[in-house]
């Protein structure tokens, strides 16, 4: 169900009201920029993607369907897609950690849960360092689930997937992240 405040905001955006656009930036801008910055590491590039996201939001607001998602999730989807598109076009030279499936599967759920369950400040720092070694799509998955506390359903909508696929990818990525942490520690 769409909140009344969102209904008024959406109506204003559809009428291309500058006040509604300003309200949208004020309300969602910080979260959207944080989402982009976790995927696009260079500040100038993240700012460029951020501008592209809101240009797209404002020009495509007529396509927003409140039956499919919340306004925040819809905007997050655009931010995710714009970030991935930017990174693909940029063709970074960065080499990401490639995990062999057998090694990742050899980790027990207990080991993974020990890392992600109730991490201490040192573990949080290790997780942040390890995230840099993941490809952007896997990094986005971890940050949406843990940092932004999105549901599997919302992440699936944003990434144009299904919740069960997201759960599986999340499990594999958590194991991969644990292996990276172990490498960092050694």
d(CA 175, CA 146): 14
pLDDT at 119: 61
Q: 4-90: what fold?
A: Rna Polymerase Sigma Factor; Chain: A (1.10.1740)
Dihedral angle over CA of 148, 149, 152, 157, nearest 10: -30
pLDDT at 96: 55
User: What is the predicted pLDDT for the residue at 98?
Assistant: 58
Q: Alpha helix locations (H) across the chain? A: 4-14, 18-39, 43-60, 71-90, 101-106, 109-116, 121-131, 136-142, 152-159, 163-185
For residues 13 and 49, give the distance between their C-alpha atoms in angstroms, rounded to a whole number.
20
**Average of pLDDT values for 49-59?**
96
**pLDDT class of 115 with cuts at 50, 70, 90:** low
Using the Cα atoms of residue 140, residue 142, residue 144 and residue 148 in order, give the sign of their dihedral: negative
- Contact predicate 179/107, CB 8 Å: yes
Q: What is the mean pLDDT of residues 90-113?
A: 56
Domain boundaries 101-185, corresponding CATH code: 1.10.10
Place of tokens 């009344």: 4
- What is the per-residue pLDDT across 139-163, written as a single tens digit (0 to 9) for each? 889 888 888 889 999 999 999 999 9
Q: How big is the chain, counted in residues? A: 186
- In the predicted model, what is the mean pLDDT of the chain? 84
Kindly list the domain boundaries of the chain, sorted by start residue. 4-90, 101-185
Q: How far is Cα 113 from Cα 165, in angstroms, rounded to an integer?
A: 20
Q: Tell me how far apart the alpha carbons of residues 44 and 61 are, in angstroms, rounded to a whole number.
A: 26
Question: Distance (Å, rounded) from C-alpha 127 to C-alpha 113?
Answer: 13
Contacts of residue 180, Cβ cutoff 8 Å, sequence gap at least 6: 97, 130, 133, 134
How many Å from the N-terminal Cα to the C-terminal Cα in the chain? Answer: 49
């Amino acid at each position: 169900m769409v909140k009344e405040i969102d209904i008024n905001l959406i109506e204003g955006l559809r009428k291309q009201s500058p006040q509604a656009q300003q309200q949208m930036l004020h309300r969602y801008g910080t979260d959207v920029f944080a989402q982009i910055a976790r995927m696009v590491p260079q500040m100038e590039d993240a700012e460029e993607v951020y501008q592209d996201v809101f240009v797209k939001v404002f020009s495509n607001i007529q396509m927003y369907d409140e039956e499919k998602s919340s306004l925040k999730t819809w905007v997050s989807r655009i931010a995710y897609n714009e970030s991935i598109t930017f990174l693909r076009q940029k063709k970074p030279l960065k080499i990401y950690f490639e995990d062999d499936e057998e090694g990742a599967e050899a980790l027990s759920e207990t080991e993974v849960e020990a890392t992600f369950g109730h991490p201490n400040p040192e573990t949080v720092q290790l997780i942040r360092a390890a995230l840099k070694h993941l490809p952007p799509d896997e990094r986005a998955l971890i940050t949406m689930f843990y940092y932004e506390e999105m549901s599997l359903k919302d992440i699936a909508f944003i990434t144009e997937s299904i919740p069960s696929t997201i759960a599986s990818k999340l499990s594999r990525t958590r194991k991969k992240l644990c292996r990276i942490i172990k490498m960092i520690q050694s």
